[in-house]
């Protein structure tokens, strides 16, 4: 991280350790992290406090937290440069979230699609954390004076409320927070389910609907073989009328690096077999080095713990600057 005099723009992103990381998370925001690391001071967070909004088995949550930290590093990010850390290790997140709750309206929070969606799927557990989830997310982002937030399309609304909260506080107290911009890649903003391509790929859906980044090659082959297409028998990029085929094209493009238009031209007049085959092989190839590095890292828990500890300290030092500034401006008595 650079100091104030040579400030580079700040990038912040978070992923919940609440299940298996899949192609939607990877081909969407995660794959871009590596490209962006060159130009931004980056923070990549394992947002374990957010994961508490649904019920987890404690042992699973602990394991998934370590796995996600290892995946960030295995994807090629440099934990000496970027800050890769765990949300609960930096108490300033929860502190700022409380303050932001006092500057966020019930009406705003009740309009959040994710809240409506999750509360209808978990009727037995509509907890207050689920409702105030966006203020904790705003705290994550605003603590670090973030410029840009790479996310999938499903998080756009949470970015908008973050901007609204930041602008509201700034209007009341002067310049407290930088107002962040979302960074949402075009074709991979919403990777769809393989079995129900009208819905987004999600870790909470049935196993065959998503490809986890740690799936073995034969599992990946099986899942793409079963992926739903259509009866039009024409490889075209038309998410509205051919969602399954368009989704495969988006995944192939993201993992092979070839533009969608080129892919469509190359496969003109051919059946879906070739599209599925090329997508399968591109995904397997792309994930191979990630999986190998992940396996290596998971054998070295001492190293992973060290990274998480050092980086939590780096994050906390930055977070404290924002929190102190805010506390002073809003009138909390300073010793
Ligand atoms: P989460 O853990 O659900 O997902 C992690 C990231 O993956 C994106 N994503 C997708 N992108 C494309 N297609 C899909 N099918 C798909 N599914 C998920 C998400 O948009 C996200 O970028 N609230 C966030 C975590 C978070 C956060 C933050 C993100 C907490 N604090 C601060 C950015 C900044 C979430 O639940 O992501």
**CA 272 to the chain's CA centroid:** 30
Look up residue 102 and give its DSSP letter: T
Report the pLDDT value the prediction gives residue 5, as an integer from 0 to 100: 60
Ligand 1 nearest atom to the CA of residue 136, by list position: 31
Range scoring the smallest mean pLDDT among 3-12, 41-50, 77-86, 91-100: 3-12
- What pLDDT, in 10s, does the model give residues 15-51? 999 989 999 999 888 888 988 999 999 999 999 999 9
CA-151 nearest atom, ligand 1: 22
Which ligand 1 atom is at minimum distance from the Cα of 137? 31
Q: Which two tokens stand for residue 155?
A: 């998080």
Among the residue ranges 93-102, 264-273, 302-311, the one predicted with the least confidence is 264-273
Domain architecture of the chain: domains with CATH: 4-188+301-330 (3.40.50.620), 207-295 (1.10.240.10)
Q: List ligand 1's pocket residues with C-beta within 6 A.
A: 12-16, 24-25, 28-29, 47, 50, 137, 140-141, 149, 151-152, 154-155, 158, 188, 190-191, 200-201
Decide if pLDDT at 184 tops 70.
Answer: yes
For residue range 190-247, what is the model confidence (pLDDT) as tens digits? 999 999 999 999 988 889 999 999 999 999 999 999 999 999 999 999 999 999 999 9
Confidence of residue 114 (pLDDT cuts 50, 70, 90): very high
H helices present in the chain, as ranges: 23-25, 31-37, 48-51, 58-74, 92-101, 106-110, 113-121, 128-142, 156-173, 217-226, 243-256, 260-266, 272-298, 301-330
The set of catalytic residues is: 118, 200, 203
Question: What's the pLDDT band for 2 if we cut at 50, 70, 90?
Answer: low
Q: How far is the CA of 24 from the centre of ligand 1 (A)?
A: 9
Query: Is pLDDT above 90 for 7?
Result: no
Please compute Rg for the chain using Cα positions.
21
What does the pLDDT average to over 80-89?
98
Top pLDDT among 160 and 269 is at 160
Dihedral of alpha carbons 186, 189, 193, 196, sign: negative
236 C-alpha vs ligand 1 centroid, how far in Å? 28
Tell me the mean pLDDT in the region 286-311: 98
What residue's CA is closest to ligand 1, atom 4?
Answer: 15
Ligand 1 pocket test target in 12, 19, 21, 25 with most atoms within 8 Å of CB:
25
Per-residue confidence band for 57, with pLDDT thresholds at 50, 70 and 90: very high
Task: Report the separation in Å between the CA atom of 19 and the middle of ligand 1, taken as the mean of its atom positions.
Answer: 12
Q: Averaged over 256-262, what is the pLDDT?
A: 95
Q: What is the mean pLDDT of the chain?
A: 95
Which residue CA neighbors atom 18 of ligand 1 most closely? Answer: 25
**% of the chain with per-residue pLDDT over 70:** 99
Give residue 27's pLDDT.
87
Q: In what order do the strands lie in the sheet with 83-86?
A: 83-86, 41-46, 10-15, 148-150, 181-183
| Helix/strand/coil (H/E/C) assignment for every residue in 15-81 | ECCCCCCEHHHHHHHHHHHHHHHCCCEEEEEECHHHHCCCCCCHHHHHHHHHHHHHHHHHCCCCCCC
Q: Is 1 a residue whose pLDDT tops 70?
A: no
Q: How far does the centroid of ligand 1 lie from the alpha carbon of residue 141, in Å?
A: 13
Q: Would the pLDDT of 4 be above 70?
A: no
pLDDT of 3 above 70: no
* Token couple for 282: 């591109």
């Amino acid at each position: 991280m650079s100091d104030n005099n040579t400030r580079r723009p700040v990038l912040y992103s978070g992923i919940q350790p609440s299940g298996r990381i899949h192609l939607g998370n990877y081909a969407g925001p995660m794959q871009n992290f590596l490209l962006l690391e060159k130009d931004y001071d980056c923070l990549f967070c394992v947002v374990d406090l957010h994961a508490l909004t649904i019920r987890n088995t404690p042992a699973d949550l602990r394991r998934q937290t370590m796995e996600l930290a290892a995946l960030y590093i295995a994807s090629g990010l440099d934990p000496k440069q970027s800050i890769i850390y765990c949300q609960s290790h930096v108490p300033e997140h929860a502190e700022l979230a409380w303050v932001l709750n006092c500057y966020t309206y019930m009406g705003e929070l009740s309009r959040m699609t994710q809240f409506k969606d999750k509360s209808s799927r978990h009727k037995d557990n509509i907890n207050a954390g689920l409702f105030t989830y966006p203020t904790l997310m705003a705290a994550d982002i605003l603590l670090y004076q973030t410029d840009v937030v790479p996310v999938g399309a499903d998080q756009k609304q949470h970015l908008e409320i973050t901007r609204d909260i930041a602008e509201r506080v700034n209007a009341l107290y002067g310049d407290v927070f930088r107002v962040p911009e979302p960074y949402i890649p075009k074709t991979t903003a919403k990777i769809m389910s393989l079995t129900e391509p009208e819905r987004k790929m999600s870790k909470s859906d049935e196993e065959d609907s998503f490809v986890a980044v740690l799936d073995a090659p034969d599992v990946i082959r099986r899942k793409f073989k079963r992926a739903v297409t259509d009866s039009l028998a024409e490889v075209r990029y038309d998410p509205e009328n051919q969602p399954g085929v368009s989704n495969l094209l988006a995944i192939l493009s993201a993992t092979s690096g070839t533009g969608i238009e080129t892919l469509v031209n190359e496969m003109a007049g051919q059946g879906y077999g070739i599209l599925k085959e090329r997508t399968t092989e591109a995904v397997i190839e792309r994930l191979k080095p990630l999986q190998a590095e992940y396996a290596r890292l998971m054998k070295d828990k001492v190293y992973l713990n060290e990274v998480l500890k050092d980086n939590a300290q780096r994050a906390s030092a930055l977070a404290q600057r924002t929190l102190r500034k805010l506390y002073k401006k809003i009138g909390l008595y300073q010793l």
